[in-house]
């Protein structure tokens, strides 16, 4: 071992850490940005493999420590039905994993079985059943279990609704809305067979041991009351019982908890040269989402500035025409604007939390199988 202060020890101390080294600007742009050109929506060529910049002392590999340091979420908008947030420091594969899980693997409750008692409307039984299945239910799926073919429908795996409407003879046509579905917390009211003896309890399509009012703090109705189910003319009627169960979107779209879940890279709009006068006016009018604005320079002078870069949809209108060479469109490779629109079964922020839990379970399963 060399003594402290020796030449050899000093050389070791002077070796810079890989994380502290920096790439030249043009390579750093290729590593962290994707370019949008006039002839293609997005140009994804770049250097992503871990050893791409090892010769320059820059570590481009993926590590848990780097992920913990760089990853963060910033919420920009949150309402009852949708949320928009930024996911920073994450790869596109991870963002897409969350999107796919939200659409296909986060469970909800939806009507699966419909027992028709009477249907004299113009809508066929199959079409009516399909319409009922697509009505969003205001029921937390975390309170219920999945049901299999051999399970008996009970208060923990089935929600029962009843619909009984009719249009009297000589009356005006009526519209049947989703709000007319009545929740039956005690279970099915339809008999599977007549009682063998007087006073014997009738057998129904469910076997509830307790009321669902003891399970849920709120009524398990529909989320939207104004969805049209059917229209009835004079003398027509609909009477049915609908059973909702727990499922996921990859089995059927009616169980998907989101109207849509999507993401896009954070756009960057860079003016390489000043755009003034009539060209500035044309540029502002050309952009459909008003990314650019006019700056008054005084004495009648005008200059285009980038006012709302986040609104850019990379439509490429600005890079076409005479001003195209003066503008550069880019996307930040590890910064995504994520939007979730809930159907109403659960709040959008809860849906994302559930998606994270599902991804965590998948990772744990893979680790356990590999070990």
CB-CB contact of 31 with 60 (8 Å): yes
Of the candidates 141, 113, 144, 140, which has an alpha carbon nearest to the alpha carbon of residue 129? 113
Q: In what order do the strands lie in the sheet with 108-119?
A: 108-119, 237-247, 159-166, 182-183
C-alpha separations of 16 from 22, 67, 145, 170 in Å? 11, 22, 56, 90
Query: Dihedral (C-alpha) 7, 9, 14, 20: value to the nearest 10 degrees?
Result: 170
pTM for the predicted model, two decimal places? 0.84
Confidence of residue 11 (pLDDT cuts 50, 70, 90): very low
pLDDT above 90 covers what percent of the chain?
Answer: 67
CB-CB contact of 87 with 338 (8 Å): yes
Interval 218-239: pLDDT, tens: 999 999 999 999 999 999 999 9
Distance CA 174, CA 165 (A): 10
Distance CA 30, CA 322 (A): 26
Q: How far is CA 251 from the centre of its chain?
A: 17
Q: List Cβ neighbours of 198 (8 Å cut-off, separation of 6 or more).
A: none
Q: What CATH architecture does domain 107-194+202-256 belong to?
A: Beta Complex (2.170)
Per-domain boundaries in the chain: 107-194+202-256
What is the predicted pLDDT for the residue at 49? 65
End-to-end CA distance of the chain: 40
Give the pLDDT mean for 17-45: 71
Bridge partners, residue 43, by sequence: 35
């Amino acid at each position: 071992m060399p003594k402290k202060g020796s030449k050899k020890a000093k050389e070791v101390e002077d070796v810079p850490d890989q994380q502290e080294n920096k790439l030249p600007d043009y390579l750093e742009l290729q590593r962290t940005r994707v370019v949008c050109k006039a002839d293609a929506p997005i140009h994804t060529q770049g250097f992503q493999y871990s050893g791409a910049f090892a010769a320059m002392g820059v570590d481009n590999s993926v590590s848990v420590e780097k992920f913990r340091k760089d990853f963060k979420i910033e919420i920009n908008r949150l309402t009852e039905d949708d949320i928009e947030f930024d996911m920073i420091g994450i790869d596109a594969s991870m963002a897409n994993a969350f999107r796919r899980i939200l659409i296909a693997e986060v469970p909800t409750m939806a009507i699966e079985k419909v027992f028709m008692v009477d249907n004299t409307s113009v809508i066929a039984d199959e079409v009516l059943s399909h319409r009922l299945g697509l009505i969003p239910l205001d029921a937390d799926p975390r309170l219920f279990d999945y049901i299999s073919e051999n399970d008996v429908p009970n208060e923990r795996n089935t929600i029962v609704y009843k619909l009984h409407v009719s249009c009297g003879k000589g009356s005006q046509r009526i519209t049947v809305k989703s709000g007319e579905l009545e929740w039956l917390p005690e279970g099915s009211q339809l008999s599977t067979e007549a009682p063998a003896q007087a006073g014997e309890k009738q057998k129904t399509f469910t076997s509830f041991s307790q009321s669902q009012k003891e399970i849920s703090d709120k009524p398990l109705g529909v989320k939207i009351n104004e969805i049209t189910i059917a229209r009835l003319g004079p003398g027509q009627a609909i009477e049915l019982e609908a059973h909702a169960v727990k499922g996921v979107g990859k089995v059927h779209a009616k169980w998907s908890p989101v109207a849509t879940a999507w993401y896009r890279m954070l756009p960057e709009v860079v003016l390489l040269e000043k755009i003034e006068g009539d060209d500035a006016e044309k540029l502002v009018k050309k952009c459909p989402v008003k990314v650019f604005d006019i700056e008054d320079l005084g004495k009648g002078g005008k200059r285009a500035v980038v006012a709302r870069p986040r609104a850019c949809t990379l439509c490429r209108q600005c890079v076409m025409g005479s001003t195209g060479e003066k503008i550069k469109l880019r996307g930040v490779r590890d910064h995504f604007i994520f939007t979730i629109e809930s159907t109403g079964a659960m709040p959008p922020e809860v849906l994302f939390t559930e998606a994270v839990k599902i991804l965590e379970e998948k990772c744990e399963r893979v680790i356990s199988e590999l070990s």
